[in-house]
Structure 1
Amino acid sequence: MFAYANVDALPIYEERNKKIVGKIDRNYLDKGVLSYAGVMGLQADTGLTASQYTWLGSIYYAGYIVAAPIHNRAFQAFAPSKWIAGCVIAWGTVLACMCACHNFMGLMVQRTFLGALEACINTGFSLITASWYRKYEHGSRTGMWSSCTGMATMIGGLIAFGCVDGQTKHDTAISSWKILALITGLVSIAYGICMWFFMAPSAVEARFFSEAEKMQAVKRLRDNHQGAGSRQYKRYQAIEAFLDIGTWMYVVFVLSSQIPAAGLVLLQSILIKNLGFTTKATLLLNIPQGFISTLCNLGFGILADWTKQRSGSAIAAGIFSLFWAALSIGLGNVAPFYKKYGQLVAYFFMSGSCSTVRFIVISMLSSNVLGTTKKTTLNSIVFVVLGAAYCIGPQTFRDPPYYAHANISPIALWTLPILVLSGFYMLNRWENNKRDKLQTERGGVQEKGTANIEFMDLTDKENKLFRYVR
């Protein structure tokens, strides 16, 4: 990296920059199976009670919590792209093994391993985004890869429908949910293998770049002042992560925003079916929700970069989800099935947008945290807390079939993230103004020894040339 950073590369004109970003985008290449399986006969085939089914959702994130710090340490020691690819291959293998599970205990073990392997995805993609893109490209690029969650929901709904329809017509001995697990597992293995061979570990190792483009790809990241990354564990950076007030603001944000979202993700198909739809109709009705999720993640991510207001875009996304949650509860309070289509539309928008605010905040982690050890430590804390939220979330859905108590939790909890995000905006603006004032007082001259500070592994507290994304 330093060899490419310290040479006098060609100036990066806008046309050349767009060409480089285009190449990076082309290189940037679930747990949803349980939600579909819930209406495809899983509970009946394995003798699950409603309580045991929700525990399958929670145990997934018990594995997630344990594995998240391990993955984050591995990302500092190994190339994140290779580690993620290996986990995707293993994840697909474990998912395919779901078809061999026939009771609650077997499913609990299988789900624990799935959660442990998935823990690498969001945090790994966050680190990859930071190492390839400029800070005001992070929001839209995070929106791009997070929008694939919605696409997976749409495609998964179609595959699940095909599995149910095929089993009904041909009366196969194997259950439709087992066919679904096998198909999606094998596809994940194939995709993981492709990631291993085609996803470049870094810009300087990218085979699709010429030597000149490698230098330009590194040079265009100078304004991030985020360094070239370090494989050395720095204890003082880990301590700084724990002492930073921003860390605990992220913790409050994740808990309050994701506990309701967790239950919606696990029970989305069951919630739709309980409005009075058939199994096949329910599976197809997951498609609009996936489409809305794709639009929200992509749209609000692009808005964040276009306006250069990451917190503002996240607040807008939070208010958007809160509105539809209130509408869904209002319609449901009149009568369980009152205007079920109105409830369905409100549910589509509520569940489709409920994770958008989290992904925008993940892009803030990519942009606003410097120092490799500090960033991986903060990621460990945030994603362990995310796992805890997703453990708790399904347990709030304990009053079937209408889940009246659980439907109130979004209103109670989704107000707090909006306040936290407002706090982030004010804190980051205050810190940037303080640094601007300090630099003006020093005549705009860089501090001694900071000519190449952007290629040092400093934290955001040490690097006074760095500015926070608001």
Structure 2
Amino acid sequence: MKDDIEEHPPATTVHSVESVNEKLVDYKDVDAALSFLRANVAADGAVPIDEKKLMRKVDWTIMPLMFACYYLQYTDKTLLSYASVMGVIEDTHMPDNGFSNLAIAFYVSFLFCEPLQSFFIQKFPTAKYLGCNVICWGLVVTMNSVCHNYRSVVTLRVLLGIFESACAPSLVILTAMWYKRHEQVSRMGIWYQGTSIAPAVSSLASFGFLHYANSNPHLSFKSWQILFLMFGLITICVGILVVLFLPDNPMKSRLSDAEKVFIIERVRENQTGIENKKLKWNQLKEVFLDIRTWLLSLVVITTNVPNGAVSSFSSLIISGFGYDDYTTLLLNLPGCAVAFVAVGFGTWWAGRYNARGIAIIVLIIPTLIGGALMAWLPEDNRAGLLAGNFMTNTVGASKFSAETVPPSFFFDPADWTQALPLLYSWITSNYAGHTKKIAMNAIVLMSFCIGNIIGPETFRDKDAPKYIPAKLTIVVILAVGICLAITLDLLYSWDNKKRDREAQQELPQDYEFLDLTDKQNRNFRYLL
């Protein structure tokens, strides 16, 4: 796995850390890393550590499992879309608006359970809690294979939203524990690529399942049932691996004590800590009263409202070309490639040049142009319309569609915005204080749900076939998103300059692990 950390000498040294003045610090409030340092760093010891080798070891220990979780989260959520052309709609007797209701059921349960899940993520061992949720949603996916009525499908969709809502915030918190701030965005890009690869793999798998024919008249197992069963069992296995092998934090990993200390000292400069299990109401108040919190929330909403709308419109365009089910499935692949490149380039650029806001804008612009092409090109310009469709994948990946699927299917907002890992990295880089980070995670994921719920509502039957309001939504909302990202970037820059003009704040020793927030610690500087 590629290592993009800053250049360091091949070997560095871990030195001892003195205790914090106990009169100034309540040790129930400090970061868990500080207690580990006090107990494990020898006063006279100096242990040589090869930093590059250690970070490669860390990457290969945690990144594959984190990627698998995010890949399966996206895949398992969208399996129903692929199963729709295999007979699940007919076999479960879905009503005409069944698919749109399933989408709403998923995102509403995701939305309302996100704060509770974030609370549990802080209270319980993070990786083990994540693994248990992966196992649970894997069981939910397998149970889809035995559904024979619409009510059971709705129930399982709600449960899927509940358990999947733990995935993204857990991965964001785990990434923040292990890496320096400038490294976090690229590592998030690695596990976030699951959303780019998942549609490609699912399209090819569904393409194969469409050729499945049951030759045994005594068996009624259908292709869509096999699809759910196979991916559900894979998910359960991955969840078990996460519980067994993904460390809850560096202190509880399989690294040696010297390596653990090195990792902790290495992220000291982040000034955001590693982990604190105590819920702090003052940090909750601080995050809710910070204008940047709501600007970031609005950026997430504005990039996800068009996400649902664009995916709906692009599906209509592809199916309108008259392609059969097999060809439509394969037409997902170029869009997946665009999404893969967008995530890779955006996260690399942001980490290399400390330019998250600029990277978000760079990803939004092609989608804005693509939306305009789809909106105003003539219907007979297939090449231009397809090009516009593929360009929209720089913000949101288009989902599968086929003309055999009822119109309500097109309003299932089953996509993730490619700007989301950049927004995640703004949380881990610029929100200090563990409760504050956890709360901001919940707000961002809830904003994601709100955007995906609102977006498809812009596509109304009365506006068919041109859908002028939806077309305007794509362009206008994305333009608003660009303005909001610029405003947020300027606020961070203004605050940094203001802090540069202030005198250096006197803080206790080891203040980096005292679970101070970014507002309490005036020596903290925001990343752009």
Q: TM-score, normalised by structure 2?
A: 0.81
**Structure 2 vs 1, CA of residues 379 and 126 (structure 1 numbering), >3 Å: closer, same or farther?**
same
Q: Deviations over 1:189-248 (max 9, x none)?
A: 1111111111111112211x2222111111110110012321111111111111110111
Structure 1 counterpart SS, 2:148: coil
1:137 corresponds, among 169, 172, 183, to: 183
Equivalent position of 1:56 in the other structure: 102
1:297 pairs with 2:320: no
Q: How does 1:87-126 map to 2 (within 5 A)?
A: 87-126=133-172
1:17-416 aligned within 5 A? 17-26=51-60, 27-28=62-63, 29=65, 30-167=76-213, 173-207=220-254, 209-263=255-309, 272-331=318-377, 334-335=378-379, 338-354=380-396, 355-399=417-461, 404-405=467-468, 406-416=470-480
**Corresponding position of 2:481:** 417
Measured after TM superposition, the shift of residue 402 of structure 1 is 5.8
| Larger deviation, residues 22-31 vs 140-149 | 22-31
Partner of 1:460 in structure 2?
Answer: 518
After superposition, the Cα gap between the structure-2 partners of 1:431 and 1:386, relative to the gap in structure 1 and judged at 3 Å, is same
Structure number with higher relative contact order (C-alpha < 8 Å, ≥ 6 residues apart) = 1
- Which of 412, 423, 447 aligns to 2:506? It is 447
Q: Which amino acid aligns with 2:382?
A: K
Deviations 1:398-430 (A, max 9, x none): 439867343442212111111111011110011
State the alpha-carbon separation in 2 of the partners of residues 411 and 267 from structure 1: 13
Can you give the 5+ residue segments of structure 1 that lack an aligned partner in the other structure? Answer: none
Alignment-mate amino acid for residue 244 of structure 2:
F
Q: CA deviation at 1:115?
A: 0.8
Shift of 1:121: 1.3
Q: How far is the alpha carbon of 1:102 from its aligned partner?
A: 2.8
TM-score normalised according to structure 1 size: 0.90
Structure 1 residues 428, 147: closer, same or farther in 2, change over 3 A? same
Q: Which has more helix, going by share of residues?
A: 1
Structure 1 pair 163–125 and aligned structure 2 pair: CA distance change class (3 A) = same
Distance 1:238 1:200 in 2: 27
| CA–CA distance in structure 1, aligned partners of residues 169 and 179 of structure 2 | 16
SS of corresponding position for 1:38: helix
CA contact (8 A) 2:357 2:489 kept: yes
Residues 343 and 82 of structure 1, relative CA distance in 2, 3 Å threshold: same
Q: Residues 386, 353 of structure 1: CA spacing in aligned structure 2 closer, same or farther, 3 A cutoff? A: closer
Partner of 2:23: none
- Letter of the 2:253 partner, please give it: A
Q: CA RMSD in A?
A: 2.4
Aligned counterpart in structure 2 of residue 2 of structure 1, from 34, 46, 53:
34
CA contact (8 A) 2:189 2:347 kept: yes
Within 1, Cα distance between the matches of 2:177 and 2:311? 30
Q: What per-residue deviation string (whole Å, max 9, x for no partner) do you get for residues 76-122 of structure 1? A: 11121111111111111101111222333222111111111111111
